[in-house]
Amino acid sequence: MTRLGFYLRAGVFFLVGVAVGTLLMQRTAAQEKGANNGLKLLVVGIAVKDYPESQNFYEKKMGFKTAFKFSPDGKRTTTYYQMGRDSFLEMQSATPEMPEGLSHVHLLTDNLDATVARLRQAGMPASARTATTPGTVTEIGMVQPANVRSANVFDPNGIRIELNEWLPESLTKKAMESWK
């Protein structure tokens, strides 16, 4: 191979590398923004039958880091385990209303009002904040002490999808910002 051929090949490989890198960066930026109608998967929620046993499993055996805990009703604890900068596992005790297993997922949106309006325009009827009817979207409400605005969507299988918009003091947002 001549010296000129070597430089031409090296130049082509360099340009291909730049093009591929640029495409990957654009895809990453789209993913960061949330390419699915501005929604981004943030939390997977589980309900467990034995909270202390599950806590021991996730913390001691799996090595999950506790991001924060709170007691929404003063009786049972909700624990958020931080899996990465922007991904969490939410664990709480199972109840008759929330049997053990997958309980819900959280999707993050920058504009909850617009997201709910889009869902209603798509034919999802509004329902009361406490409703669990598949194919509906609930009224917007506040979740404390997590400091988020939220609405719930129930898919055709009855799986709850919690749509969240962070307030400035959101515990999840604070955990993400402090991630190292």
Structural domains counted in the chain: 2
pTM exceeds 0.85 for this model: no
Residues 54 and 1 in one domain: no
Residues 81 and 160 in one domain: yes
All residues at 6 or more sequence positions from 48 whose CB lies less than 8 Å from its CB, including other chains: 54, 91, 92, 93, 94, 100
The pLDDT tens digits for 134-178 are 888 889 988 887 888 999 998 887 888 999 998 888 888 899 899
Residues 92 and 132 in one domain: yes
Residues 91 and 154 in one domain: yes
Residues 8 and 44 in one domain: no
Residues 9 and 60 in one domain: no
- Domain ranges, residue 17: 1-33
Residues 98 and 21 in one domain: no
> What are phi and psi for residue 9, nearest 5 degrees?
-65, -45
Residues 66 and 154 in one domain: yes
CB atoms within 10 A of CB 138: 22
Residues 7 and 79 in one domain: no
The pLDDT tens digits for 135-145 are 888 899 888 87
Beta strands 87-93 and 160-166, pairing class? unpaired
CB atoms within 10 A of CB 35: 12
Residues 123 and 49 in one domain: yes
The answer to whether 58 and 91 are in contact (CB under 8 A) is yes
CATH number of domain containing 112: 3.10.180.10
Give the closest residue to 120 by CA, choosing from 133, 138, 142, 132.
Answer: 138
Residues 128 and 111 in one domain: yes
- Residues of the chain with pLDDT > 70, as a percent, come to 81
